Amino acid sequence: MNPLLEQFLSESRESLQSIGEKLMQLEQGACDSGLINEVFRLVHTLKGNSGLFEFPEMTRALHAGEDVMDAVRNGTIPYSRALADNLLEVADFVGFLCDEIESKGSIAASHSADSARLAAALRGLLQSHADAEVVCTAMDHRPADNAASSESAATPGDAPATLGNVPEVIRMDAYRRAKGGESLAWITFSPQEECFFQGDDPFFTVRQSPEPLWGRIGHREPWPPLAELNAYRCILDFELLTVAQPEELAEHFRYVPDQVTIVAVDPLWLVLPQGDPNGGPVYEDFVADALGFLEAGDPTALRQAAQTMLELSNPVLWLSSALRWLLLLMESEPGNRAVLRRLIESLRQLTPPDWTSLEAPEETLSAAGELSEKGLQQPGDTPTRHRELSQQEAATLAALFEAQWEILSLDDEPSWQAGRLKAVAGVLVQCCNIDGDWPARGAIETALAQALSAGEALPLLSWLEARQSRQLINTIARQIPAQANATAAVLSESKSAQPEQPGVSASPNGSGPINGLSGFGRRAEDSSTGPIKVDQVKIDRLMNLIGEMVVSKNALPYLAQRAENQFGVRELAREIKAQYTVINRIVEEMQDAIMQVRMRPVSFVFQRFPRLVRDISHKLGKDVQLALEGEDTEADKNIIECLADPLIHIVRNSLDHGLETPDERRACGKAATGTLTIRATQEADQVLIDIIDDGKGIDPAIIKRKAYEKGVIDETTLERITDREAINLVFAAGFSTAEAVSDLSGRGVGMDVVRAAVEKVNGTILLESQVGKGTHIRIALPLSMAVAKVMIVESDRQVFGVPMEYVVETVRVPRDAIRAIKQNQAVVLRGQIVPLKALNTLLELPAEPQANADDELAVLVARVGSEVVGLVVDNFHETVDVIQKPLGGVLSGLNAYSGSALMGDGSVLMVLNLKEIL
Amino acid sequence: MKRILIVDDAATVRLYHRNILESAGYTVEEAINGIEALEKSLLKPFDLYLVDVNMPKLDGYAFLQRLRGKDMSQAPAIMVSTEAAPHDQTAAYRAGANCYLVKPVRPEQLLVHVQILLGEICS
């Protein structure tokens, strides 16, 4: 896919996302003009972008959206839920088109109808609210034929009134061609007034239309006095008679189907005698004779009579025109007496024959049947174009730089050279100032002085080229390591250019290498400091490298120890240690910086909830207010991404099972509107996500019964289990409490999947609920997965790592403080009973825990899930940052360990999986 | 207040540009050909020139050449033309214009150029 299209798609998706969010916000709050403007701007930009490609379907729907938002913005129509629904539908549609473009590279023509339907729905809103008077005047301004053809949709059979403008010769030719089997079409095209600004060339469009026979340009309102004329407003109307196929025409006018009416022309409509009535109808004799011949079935006599009459009459007369048609009709359809009779009879009144009662109703061919839209566009309404000024400014700035470069590159030396150079220098100073490059002024003035004394532009040109290449290199350098090779190439190129630049003696074509870098004019734009997109893989690589760095720097203290103990050079040991602290600090900062790169705000996940909650609650007939808090809390990208699905599931559950319908809520004495709060907070090394609803809560009794019925728990557990433990049973595998499987949350995926997903990223999930009050689910996630802090403990002369997220505290417990409860041991810590387990026992190491000199045992208090357990070990060591690697190969079956980590001295640390061993 | 001279023989174009520039708060003066433009510039130079190409008596190129040649003004000049051909642009640059725009010039396009050339945008 070409990069422009890729850029377009990614930008469009962002815009759509943003539009969705803004609409949600609008729905919640009062009419905020800022938000409305923002939505308008987004829709407008999106429409403008889509116009760059051949996606008329997308453009059309967005255009309608833009018009509606513009009306909202101007206060013409109010913002409403129906409007939001329509706009959201358009956004979905466009998103869908984006997907299709991405997968197939184009949009199937079949979406045209959807696009038209969406556009019509939006314009319908515009119409229903529009000031009646405005519509009326707008309608008056429409050319008569439009009105006629619009009506013709309702009362088929009317020929376009302006068909008579077509000269008779051409009509006759058209008639013959139609009789020869070609299809005739009458096109009226009323371009939008602001079409010039959209880069449309209606004249060209019409000129290029296939197989035209005749065309006319008219104006849809009287021309104003010259002084008031706005030459950039298009008030032209086009009419066209063509023999092209309807499909061809639909294809040709595919970008402006709402401005075009295509009517299939019945050949008989062309039979419009015209001319001088010559004082009125006095042809009774001839009419009587002609009808007589017709009835008698004598075409030869009729033809002769007509020819004689024609020869006798002045060709400009109405009569002559009618006779010419009569002869033509007799030639092409001699058997069609009804037609001939009507034409002859028309001579009595000298009014064109009425063909409608003869023939089948006309057919309207307008591509997607959008005739009804015609009247809705208000020509007087020219929406103010809001553009991304900053973008335009950057582009203009770049263009101006380029223009000055071109001026300086001119090889002439006219008498006004000095003035020209001064003007260029002035412009360059301004441009540099705007670019934030204040010091450039001095350099430019020096270069100007040189240029003026030398009488040539070269010094200024050299300066400008040097500047532009610097800018280019800066831009590229920012993308290291993404394009390390490219940078190297450019750098070497610029090096080869370097010697030429400063010297005045350099040839005027010293710009060669710079010229070679195409896209000169875009450099200033490129150099703007914005976010750059980097491949995830590259960041992962950085992450791995820094991980290794963290570990290998830990080798330095060991080295220092060896230097002191083994080689006895204390001085060196101290220096190594000093150096280590420096490196340690840098590495830590570096690690932090790289982690920052990977950090994403949780809004990344949260942003989809307003829409989700809105849609689901609508579907369920519940009234729910969503409160999002702490959206800017950041966490590692992987973790955030893992969070998305569990969160959606929890939210669905809350909406489906937790929150009640407004009636139920009122019956319980609660506010009719339920509240769902999703809150993110950071606490130490963890990100906490709370999902709180004020629904009916979870009844532990029901959970217990269900769990027992499904065999999740046995009878003894059923009796023993606390309410708190009971509600957490929803996380057990194969548990679903929904009475009936609904299409929302009953997808066969239970909360156990949610728990698994959270635990996969070393997170924990906790549920609290009060019947009638609501439910509170808390997900605790680590900030980052890559580097783990572990505490090193020693047991039976071996060291093990314990992830710090489990560690509550480390205590020394006197041996006599340990109580035996049945077979288990426990200790009372600050009034709480903490069961004790010896690590040796858990790992089946045949050794007793070692006490220290004061007969105290080392107990590491750990929290696993909601349980607190004391782990009896021999000794505590320091905590270290390690890169935990999962166990591979034959070791992967060892559940007791969650992974291994390499220590600074090269030894391997086994990290315990407390969940498994406890 | 920055002063801008619109040099154009077409009243419509002058009015169009005047409306745009005045709405942005600039002081605008008009000249219907190069001669008049030179006369006005002699009285008091302008901060920016907006110059049409084809004009009777003295056309845009000749006007700019004299403006630059007599060292009357080093103010930036925007040349506005209906021709998008590259050689027209080069001719404009040759004559002393700093910027070349093709009609119709969109209001915001014009304003951005003017604002940048007059150094009125801060980055």
Distances (CA, A) of A511 to A36, A443, A454, A468, A573: 49, 19, 18, 11, 57
Predicted confidence at residue A440, as pLDDT, reads 78
* Max CA separation in chain A (angstroms): 142
Closest CA to A911 of A796, A756, A805: A805
CA separation for the pair B67, B56 (Å, rounded):
17
Answer whether B96's CB lies under 8 Å from A414's CB. no
C-alpha separations of B5 from A39, A445, B18, B30, B45 in Å: 38, 26, 9, 6, 9
With CA atoms as reference, the chain B residue closest to A435 would be: B123
Task: Tell me which of B41, B74, B109 to substitute to probe the interface with A (most A C-beta atoms closer than 10 Å).
Answer: B74
Q: What pLDDT is stored for residue A785 in this prediction?
A: 63
Q: Up-side HSE of residue A513: CA atoms within 13 Å toward CB?
A: 19
Which residues of chain B lie closer than 8 angstroms to A422, CB-CB?
68, 71, 74
In terms of phi and psi (left: phi > 0; alpha: psi -120 to 50; beta: otherwise), the region of A505 is: alpha
Specify whether the CB–CB gap between A134 and A340 falls below 8 A.
no
DSSP 3-state of A206: helix
| β-sheet bridge partners, residue A798 | A795
Check A196 against B121: CB less than 8 A apart: no
Cis previous bond, B107, omega within 30 = no
Q: Choose from B30, B110, B116 for mutation: most chain A CBs within 10 A.
A: B116
Nearest to A403 among B12, B72, B98 (CB): B98
List, in order, residues 6 or more apart from A399 with CB less than 8 Å away. Answer: A521, B99
Q: How much helix, strand and coil, in percent to the nearest 5, is found in chain A?
A: 55, 15, 30
CB contacts of B90 in chain A (<8 Å) are 406, 410
The full length of chain A comes to: 918
- What is the Cβ-side half-sphere exposure of residue A842, based on CA atoms within 13 angstroms? 21
> What pLDDT shows up at residue B91?
87
Exposed, middle or buried by CB within 10 Å (0-12, 13-18, 19+), for A793?
Answer: buried
In sign, the C-alpha dihedral spanning A615, A620, A623, A627 is negative
Give the length of chain B.
123
pLDDT for A743 equals: 41
Percent of chain A surpassing pLDDT 90 = 4
| Least Cα separation, residue A382 to chain B (angstroms) | 14
Separation CA A850–CA A199 (nearest Å): 85
CA gap A353, A339 in Å, rounded: 9
Q: How far apart are CA A747 and CA A532, in angstroms?
A: 39
- Residue-level pLDDT at A389: 42
Residues on chain B bordering chain A, Cβ-to-Cβ distance under 8 angstroms: 11-13, 15-16, 65-77, 89-90, 93-96, 98-100, 104, 106, 108-109, 112-113, 115-119, 121-123
Q: ipTM of the assembly?
A: 0.87
Q: Is B84 helix (H, G, I), strand (E, B) or coil?
A: coil
Burial A678-693 (b: 16+ CB within 10 A, else e): bbbeeeeebbbbbbbb
The residue among A282, A447, A266 whose CA lies nearest residue A356 is A266
DSSP character at residue B106: P
CA distance A423 to chain B (A): 4
A488 or B27, greater pLDDT: B27
Q: Low-confidence residues of chain A, pLDDT below 70? A: 1-4, 30-31, 51-52, 109, 128-159, 198-199, 279-282, 356-390, 474-530, 733-750, 784-787, 904
Looking at beta carbons, which residues of chain A come within 8 Å of B18? none
Give just the sign of the alpha carbon dihedral A32, A34, A40, A42: negative
Residue B20 has pLDDT above 90, yes or no: no
What is the distance between the alpha carbons of residues B43 and B38, in angstroms, rounded to a whole number? Answer: 9
Who's near A510: CB < 8 A, 6+ residues apart?
Answer: A458, A462, A465, A497, A500, A501
- Tell me the nearest-neighbour CA distance from B71 into chain A, angstroms: 5
> What is d(CA A610, CA A233) in angstroms, rounded to the nearest whole number?
42
pLDDT at A112: 77
CB contacts < 8 A, A to B, total 113
3-state secondary structure of A428: helix
Is A422's Cβ below 8 Å from some Cβ in B? yes
Confidence of residue B4 (pLDDT cuts 50, 70, 90): very high
Question: Is B65 within 8 Å of A406 when comparing Cβ atoms?
Answer: no
From B75's Cα to the closest Cα of chain A, the distance in A is 6
The domains located in chain B, with CATH, are 3-117 (3.40.50.2300)
β-strands A867-873, A875-883 pairing = unpaired
Q: Are A722 and A747 in contact (CB under 8 A)?
A: no
Contact criterion met (CB below 8 Å) for A213 and A174: yes
CB contact under 8 A, B104 and A226: no
